[in-house]
Amino acid sequence: MTILRKPGLQASTLQETAETAQALPLRSPDQVSTLERLGSLHQTRISFVRSIMRKMMAEGWRISRERFDIDDQGYGTVIYRIDTPGERYSQVIFSHYLDPAERSDRVIAQKWDVACALCEGEVSAERLEELRANIPRQEAGRNRASDIVLSRANKSVRNFDYLVDMLAQGRQPDPAVLARVGYLLRTTAVYGNGKFGIADYARVRHSRAFALPFSAQMFAVYLLRHFSIELVEHLARVRSPTTAVPLNDAIRRYIGTGNATGLGMAPFLVNHPRLLDRWVRARETAIARVLYRGRASRPLLTRLLALVDRARIYLQETQTEDKRQFLEYQRTLEELESFRTQVNGELGNFAGEAAPGEVWRRLSQWAQDHGSLETQELINSLLMELYPELVDELEGQMAADEDLDLAPAMPLDDLRTLIEQHYHWALSIDFDCPQQQYLFWYRSADKEEPRLGIRGQEPGADKEFKLTTVARTVQELYRTLQSLPQTERAQPTVTFLLRYPQYRGIVRRIQSLRGYEYGEVRTNLLHRDTLPIHLLRAKLSFFGASKFDPKSDRWVRISLFQGAPLVSDIGQDWEDDWLFPVMPTRQERG
């Protein structure tokens, strides 16, 4: 065998296209990527529910009922057919009787009111039986690569019964009921990306309909909302064929799909740092574009006032029994009142022209100086609403190449500098203090449900979830680097890893996050005071969740698509303006 040598192609270095936004001053990761600020985020117009809704409306997706075999009790099978440009999908939904005693939102539940799958193409009779045998079993079933999303949901029984009751009597429900709990069905898991045999995202991302991360999952949730509305109307008709009425459109739009999320979602942000960076960076870029390119005008200031008013009503209508969250909402309500005064002042003083961003920067500075994190980020969401032309295209930047790659030739001095620049927050933690390692994250044998334990008091710390120990591991690595003799500090990384292979993973992570500086949650997740709910809220805000209602420090209920256009609205004129949904007025209800 002979190895031939010949001049070849120039070695190419793969580089991502430079962000035009690098000309804009973005807030620093030190400010943005703290757990507390991430846990204060709200939905924005580039949240995933907004993106998929814009896509549906722009492309005129056709959603039709192919089968609606629901009996008089509300149980049976439904198939929705979805036609998008060049593609066809089906969402298959199974509705079953569930003993109330077995109804649970936990990932360890075994049965649910509703189970569904979003599938490519049409569903044959044979395929339907295969789905029927597997979908209701969820994690215990097996699925095909043509199944894109697997999900299940439970009823909000109180809302469900109330709406059926009212509609059967020929009356519309009081929207205040939906203000308290804004949905009829509440998902407890929405699986994508290869779980239990369904399609990998690597495949789905090549589709036209669902190329963006989580767009397929959001769509499946959207159709569950549609199904829940059709279900209550069906049951009302069954109960009282002569008097039952359908929901009016304003109330239909005010119904979302709920979601109950616990620690199962918490490790996601730590497991996907490059993706998190892209999400946060898109949001920060949007904010920066408004603050540095958006020219204020009287109509925009007036619109901002209207959005502030809507946000205040939304917060007043959002109910939670969680004391911490309640106080946050109350504080934001007060601060929004003051902010409104500021906006009014700007409107009163507005001379007809302003330099790009000038007015918004003043208002943003006011929010930083006078507002809580929750208030600041809510105001950022409002500002983003003012400029769809500057913001919406950033939804296309929410995907990421998630492959982490080692830079084996990097001199150790450079590695140390990287750590000092981007992980100084980890270096400053005193891990000898018991509070700093009070908690440990682990996976339970109960359906691998992630849980939190107290170190030294509960078993399992030896099986600690390694990715939750980033701060501690970085510090250990740094100390090891610091302990090297001067003569070894210019060595390449690979030489160090030959001797200390246990650091390969963390070194790769640190090196791979150059250019992805928003991707590390800058907190010690082992600290006693860690609120896991912040991790959940951060991710859910990017989904587009509203009505955050923590049930503890480690699980939350939210609503998705509340206020969104209906299936019947697709193809009609519409306004992409459903941030912070509020109760429809009597006039809107007709």
Partner 1 sequence: MRVAHNEFLSLCRKVFEGKGLSLGDYEDCAEAIVWLEMHGMDGVAELQTLLDCSPKGESGPPRFEDTTLAVLEASDWSRVCGGLAVDLAYTKALHQGMAMVELVGSPAPRLVIRSLLDCARRGMNALAHWRDKDLRQHLVTVEAGGAYPAYQLLAASEPGSGMAGASPVTIVCSRGITLEASTTTPVLMRLAPEDFAERYRRALVEGIEVDEILWQRLVELSRNVLVESTEESRRRGAGYGGF
Contact 297, 527 (CB under 8 A): no
Taking the least distance from each CB to partner 1, the nearer of 47 and 511 is: 511
Residue 11 CA from chain centroid, whole number: 38
Instruction: Give the pair of three-digit tokens for residue 468.
Output: 């939750």
Q: Which of 280, 507, 526, 538 binds partner 1 (CB under 8 A)?
A: 507
**Region 384-423 residues binding partner 1, contact defined as CB under 8 A:** 403, 405-409
Four-residue CA torsion sign, 231, 235, 238, 243:
negative
Among 7-15, 43-51, 209-217, 423-431, the segment contacting partner 1 (CB under 8 A):
7-15
User: How many residues interact with partner 1 (rule CB under 8 A)?
Assistant: 80
Q: Which of 279, 314, 442, 561 binds partner 1 (CB under 8 A)?
A: 442
CB of 122 to partner 1, least distance (A): 17
Taking the least distance from each CB to partner 1, the nearer of 7 and 299 is: 7
Residues in the chain: 590
**492 is an interface residue for partner 1 by CB under 8 A:** yes
**355 is an interface residue for partner 1 by CB under 8 A:** no
**273 is an interface residue for partner 1 by CB under 8 A:** no
**554 is an interface residue for partner 1 by CB under 8 A:** yes
| CA distance linking residue 267 with residue 441, whole number of Å | 9
Taking the least distance from each CB to partner 1, the nearer of 139 and 358 is: 139
| CA distance linking residue 284 with residue 517, whole number of Å | 12
Using DSSP bridges, classify how beta strands 256-261 and 183-191 pair: parallel, antiparallel or unpaired.
parallel
**Region 86-105 residues binding partner 1, contact defined as CB under 8 A:** 104-105
CB of 333 to partner 1, least distance (A): 27
Classify residue 22 by its DSSP letter: G
CB of 569 to partner 1, least distance (A): 32
| CA distance linking residue 364 with residue 31, whole number of Å | 14
Q: Which of 194, 246, 345, 356 binds partner 1 (CB under 8 A)?
A: 194
- The site string for partner 1 over 227-266 (x = CB under 8 A, - otherwise) reads ---------------------------------x-xxx--
Among 318-326, 342-350, 387-395, 437-445, the segment contacting partner 1 (CB under 8 A):
437-445
**Closest C-alpha among 89, 94, 47 to residue 70:** 94
Residues 6+ apart with CB under 8 A from 410: 492, 493, 511
**Region 62-81 residues binding partner 1, contact defined as CB under 8 A:** none
Contact 343, 417 (CB under 8 A): no
**467 is an interface residue for partner 1 by CB under 8 A:** yes
| CA distance linking residue 158 with residue 244, whole number of Å | 19
| CA distance linking residue 175 with residue 322, whole number of Å | 22
Q: Which of 68, 196, 326, 431 binds partner 1 (CB under 8 A)?
A: 196
**489 is an interface residue for partner 1 by CB under 8 A:** no
Q: Which of 110, 341, 552, 568 binds partner 1 (CB under 8 A)?
A: 552
Question: How many Cα atoms sit within 13 Å of 448 on the Cβ side?
Answer: 5
Strands of 546-550's sheet in order across: 62-70, 76-84, 87-95, 114-120, 147-155, 183-191, 256-261, 556-560, 546-550
**502 is an interface residue for partner 1 by CB under 8 A:** yes
Taking the least distance from each CB to partner 1, the nearer of 163 and 265 is: 265
- The site string for partner 1 over 134-173 (x = CB under 8 A, - otherwise) reads --------x-xx----------------------------
CB of 148 to partner 1, least distance (A): 11
Four-residue CA torsion sign, 176, 182, 183, 188:
negative
User: What is the residue type of 471?
Assistant: A
**203 is an interface residue for partner 1 by CB under 8 A:** yes
| CA distance linking residue 58 with residue 78, whole number of Å | 26
**Closest C-alpha among 145, 103, 31 to residue 522:** 31
In degrees and rounded to multiples of 5, residue 99 shows phi and psi of: -60, 125
CB of 320 to partner 1, least distance (A): 14
- Per-residue exposure over 172-196, b if at least 16 CB sit within 10 Å of its own CB, e if not: bbebebbbebbbbbbbbbbbbbeee
**445 is an interface residue for partner 1 by CB under 8 A:** yes
**322 is an interface residue for partner 1 by CB under 8 A:** no
Q: Which of 294, 450, 565, 581 binds partner 1 (CB under 8 A)?
A: 450
Q: Which of 494, 569, 576, 588 binds partner 1 (CB under 8 A)?
A: 494
**444 is an interface residue for partner 1 by CB under 8 A:** yes
Residue 443 CA from chain centroid, whole number: 22
CB of 4 to partner 1, least distance (A): 5
Taking the least distance from each CB to partner 1, the nearer of 61 and 555 is: 555
Q: Which of 76, 345, 356, 505 binds partner 1 (CB under 8 A)?
A: 505
Rg (CA), the chain: 26
CB of 3 to partner 1, least distance (A): 6
Q: Which of 489, 508, 527, 528 binds partner 1 (CB under 8 A)?
A: 508
Alpha helices, DSSP H only, in 450-563?
A: 470-483, 493-499, 504-512, 532-543
**448 is an interface residue for partner 1 by CB under 8 A:** yes
**Region 9-28 residues binding partner 1, contact defined as CB under 8 A:** 9-14
CB of 138 to partner 1, least distance (A): 14
